[in-house]
Structure 1
Amino acid sequence: MLNRVKQPLPGAQPRVRFTIPPESAELGQAAAVEQPAPGAMFRHPIYLGFMGTVGVGIALFLNYIMANTSQLLLWIVTALFISLGLDPVVRWLEQRRVPRPLGIVLVLASLLGLVAMFFATLIPTIVDQTTQLITKAPGWITDFLNSDFFRQLDVQYHVIDTLNTQVEKFFQDSQAVGGIFGGVVGVGSTIANGLFGTLIVLVLSLYFLASLPTMKKWGYRLAPRSRRARVEDLSEEITAGVGNYVIGQVCVAVLNATYAFIVMTILNVPFSVLLAFVVALMAFIPLVGGMVAAVIVTAVSLTAGWQTAVIFAICYVAYLQFEAYFVSPRIMQKAVAVPGAVAVISVIAGGSLLGVLGALIAIPTAAAVMLLVREVFINHQDEH
């Protein structure tokens, strides 16, 4: 009975795997077929015109594909960015004799567990504080409308009459009222697309993280053999810099949000948990994220008094200076180094092209471009 179980099933075949072809050891083999003279084919006008037409057609086809799959390409870039950020942790586990598949499972399980614990703790607090904000907002509006400043403004510019007139016009316009319901449907579809995109990004991140060494080997094989070692060194340096940058940015964001939460708790700033979450998100945006978070939290701190807002602004701006000169250099010492002007330009350009994701990957991309310029173009110019 045991022998029967051990025997393979009738007709069973091993699974076919897509492997990299072995490198050829014979580099100096001459082609058996006689090659045409260089540029001979391009001298014929019909051939040249045909190939030019084919090239334009391929370019238009690629442009059509890029225009209609932009969302998918954005998901792929996000997943690749996440996988490059998690790869240093997986490689660190591999150095501790943990198999790569097990290391990937441990890293993803730890990440998902931390995210689940974070949101399980955060969401009830956010819901509670958001409810308080909605409840208190009418009182704040009433106090503002009854203030001397608004009364003087209304006497001079008739603000209340203008608002009443605009509200009546809005509700009399059927298209505007219908747009509200269309906006609600649009918000629902946006949320659904966001959840679907999150699932796609998680699945792609898992596959990219599992097959990242194989993907690198395939990429290196696309380069000429004489330059393959150089391409591999540059690619490894770029990917290592991106991974260290992602991990460092996460550490900076956590420290930033923790400090802001402690200061807000001491000063009794309202909605401290919600604002700490906003600070953490803003900290992922290089250069400008910290100042945007400072403006948002300071504006909310004004509800507790201008003294509270001033104290928080001083403490948080001081921490940003401390972070810029002491925290970030030590955390990012193995990551990327980009001059300030290049960093600002790259963040603005990345944000304009891809939004928040573009701002996040702008600095690693700029560092990669600068590395290639330094190691390839400048070296080539120095040799001539």
Structure 2
Amino acid sequence: MMPTQEPAGPPPAGKRPRVIRIEPSPGTVIALLLIIAGLWVLNRLLPVVLVLVAALIIVGTISPAVQWLEQRRVPRGLGIAIVFTGLLVVTVLFITLTIPALIVQATGLLEQEPLLRARLAAWLAGSHLTLPLADLLRKVESGDLVKLAVANAIGFSTRVVAIFAYIMSSIFLALYILIDRDRLRGGLFSVVPRSHHIRLSRVMLNLETIVGGYIRGQLITSAFMAAFVFILLRACGVANALAIAVFAGAADVLPYAGALLSVGAAVAATLPRGPVIILLVLVLMLAYEEFESRLIVPRVYGQALRLPSSVILFSLLAGTVLLGITGALLALPVAAAALMLIGELRIELPGQQEQAKDVAIRERDDRGEAEYERRTEGLPAEQAAAIAVAISVDRNREESRPPAKPEEPGPGGGGI
């Protein structure tokens, strides 16, 4: 794209002022059209892309367990079946432990709703500041609340069915990827030049590490939330405290929305206990949510994903604004993957200066790629991919070892 302009300076009398013309080249126009078309296709296929990303996350989560079984001479197919069966059992236990108890809790609250509303209105009427709220509660009819709940449930059920369908699609796609791992990996490596196979294998291994760290972080934060809710509700004498705690821990996986679900479930469970217990649980739950978001999440994910706290908070906000809850769920692994790609692809940032260490790493990359091309000459893509992964695993282990300390000279030893 070359701008053209007439000579600068004040225009002579009787001449037109200068005009700047922008004449894009044909290549620029074609590239711009391709970018627009690609973005449009990506937007149309966004659910499919999210299903694929979710499947890859499931694969990265399950692969370490399958590899652990393979190392103990369990056939790969049997290992996959064992891991998926274990996940199915855990899911069934979670559903049977939480859903019936939550339904009983919700049914009891609906039956006691007039009495609870009258108690709350009487408590609010004791102060001049909350007297308008008490009058408002007395005017509300139970039938209106039931109609509103039913309408919301019907509208929400369609979304639940769609989400369930996407989840099942991701699970089955992850299963197919695990079963056909060698063939799919060979197909991916066959379309990439062999000079980049080592780098590609390192990227894949690092992505698996990122996914594993993200899942571990989710488990840690969810376990902390479940333990806190269980102890709090048990101390307040709430029935079904374990089921509500498990539900709160599972809901904590969802950024932002999970906080509302966890606090709402805990507070709803304390409604029969009176206003003092309700207020106490509400204040403590909000305090814990703030503590988790400000301290636990940055510490846990910062160590697991090697992300600064500021990057974690910014990624969560950006992902939520762009794609809602789905974007918030994918924000941290995407941010960690982007930083990893910058490092593995040796991308030079504008303000970064090349150091001696960078030169040594680049030279080592070149030697490793040349050795890999020599070892895999004439081999099919599947075998070459397996060799590239093995080389990358050995290199990661070598880099993770602490540097050896230089030996101190003994008595009588040392330099000249």
Report the TM-score, using the length of structure 1 for normalisation.
0.67
Alignment counterpart, residue 55 of structure 2, candidates 63, 67, 79: 79
- Residue of structure 2 equivalent to 1:32: none
- Residue of structure 1 equivalent to 2:342: 373
CA offsets, 1:48-72, max 9 Å, x none?
63x5554444434333322322222
Alignment counterpart, residue 232 of structure 1, candidates 201, 206, 227: 201
- Residue of structure 1 equivalent to 2:354: 382
Q: Distance in 1 between matches of 2:63 and 2:315?
A: 24
Assess if the C-alpha contact under 8 Å between 1:154 and 1:160 holds in 2: no
* Further displaced range: 136-145 or 122-131: 136-145
Assess if the C-alpha contact under 8 Å between 2:61 and 2:211 holds in 1: yes
State whether structure 2 residue 311 is matched by structure 1 residue 342: yes
Q: Distance in 1 between matches of 2:71 and 2:64?
A: 11
Q: Distance in 1 between matches of 2:136 and 2:286?
A: 38
Assess if the C-alpha contact under 8 Å between 2:302 and 2:308 holds in 1: no
CA offsets, 1:205-228, max 9 Å, x none?
212333345444444454443333
- What is the Cα deviation at residue 97 of structure 1? 1.5
Secondary structure, aligned partner of 1:269: coil
- What is the Cα deviation at residue 309 of structure 1? 5.5
Identity of aligned residues (%): 23
Secondary structure, aligned partner of 1:355: helix
Aligned length: 326
CA-based RMSD: 4.6
- Residue of structure 1 equivalent to 2:10: none
Report the TM-score, using the length of structure 2 for normalisation.
0.62
The change in CA–CA distance for 1:158 and 1:359 in structure 2 (over 3 A counts) is: closer
Q: Distance in 2 between matches of 1:220 and 1:150?
A: 73
Counterpart amino acid of 2:37?
Answer: F
The change in CA–CA distance for 1:295 and 1:225 in structure 2 (over 3 A counts) is: same
Assess if the C-alpha contact under 8 Å between 1:294 and 1:317 holds in 2: no
Q: Distance in 2 between matches of 1:302 and 1:186?
A: 26
The change in CA–CA distance for 1:105 and 1:180 in structure 2 (over 3 A counts) is: closer
Q: Distance in 2 between matches of 1:198 and 1:253?
A: 20
Q: Distance in 1 between matches of 2:304 and 2:313?
A: 17
- What is the Cα deviation at residue 295 of structure 1? 7.7
The change in CA–CA distance for 1:308 and 1:163 in structure 2 (over 3 A counts) is: closer
- Residue of structure 1 equivalent to 2:237: 268
Q: Distance in 2 between matches of 1:258 and 1:154?
A: 34
The change in CA–CA distance for 1:334 and 1:132 in structure 2 (over 3 A counts) is: same
CA offsets, 1:120-174, max 9 Å, x none?
232221111111121222222222334463895798799659978xxxxx9xxxx
- Residue of structure 1 equivalent to 2:412: none
The 5 A counterparts of 1:112-131 are 112-131=88-107
- Residue of structure 1 equivalent to 2:406: none
The 5 A counterparts of 1:59-74 are 59-74=35-50
The 5 A counterparts of 1:182-221 are 186-221=155-190
Counterpart amino acid of 2:83?
Answer: V
Q: Distance in 2 between matches of 1:71 and 1:326?
A: 31
Secondary structure, aligned partner of 2:347: helix
Q: Distance in 1 between matches of 2:99 and 2:138?
A: 39
State whether structure 2 residue 325 is matched by structure 1 residue 356: yes
- What is the Cα deviation at residue 119 of structure 1? 0.8
* Further displaced range: 51-60 or 154-163: 154-163
The change in CA–CA distance for 1:242 and 1:292 in structure 2 (over 3 A counts) is: same
- What is the Cα deviation at residue 111 of structure 1? 0.3
Assess if the C-alpha contact under 8 Å between 2:55 and 2:171 holds in 1: yes
Secondary structure, aligned partner of 2:238: coil
Q: Distance in 1 between matches of 2:234 and 2:65?
A: 33
The 5 A counterparts of 1:151-190 are 186-190=155-159
Q: Distance in 1 between matches of 2:138 and 2:105?
A: 33
The change in CA–CA distance for 1:381 and 1:233 in structure 2 (over 3 A counts) is: farther
Q: Distance in 1 between matches of 2:245 and 2:64?
A: 27
The 5 A counterparts of 1:28-39 are none
Counterpart amino acid of 2:99?
Answer: I
- What is the Cα deviation at residue 333 of structure 1? 9.3
Assess if the C-alpha contact under 8 Å between 2:257 and 2:325 holds in 1: no
Counterpart amino acid of 1:377?
Answer: I
Alignment counterpart, residue 111 of structure 1, candidates 69, 87, 92: 87
The change in CA–CA distance for 1:81 and 1:322 in structure 2 (over 3 A counts) is: closer
Counterpart amino acid of 1:123?
Answer: I
Q: Distance in 2 between matches of 1:334 and 1:102?
A: 33
- Residue of structure 1 equivalent to 2:213: 244
- What is the Cα deviation at residue 190 of structure 1? 2.7
Q: Distance in 2 between matches of 1:87 and 1:226?
A: 26
Q: Distance in 1 between matches of 2:63 and 2:340?
A: 21
- Residue of structure 2 equivalent to 1:43: none
State whether structure 2 residue 49 is matched by structure 1 residue 88: no
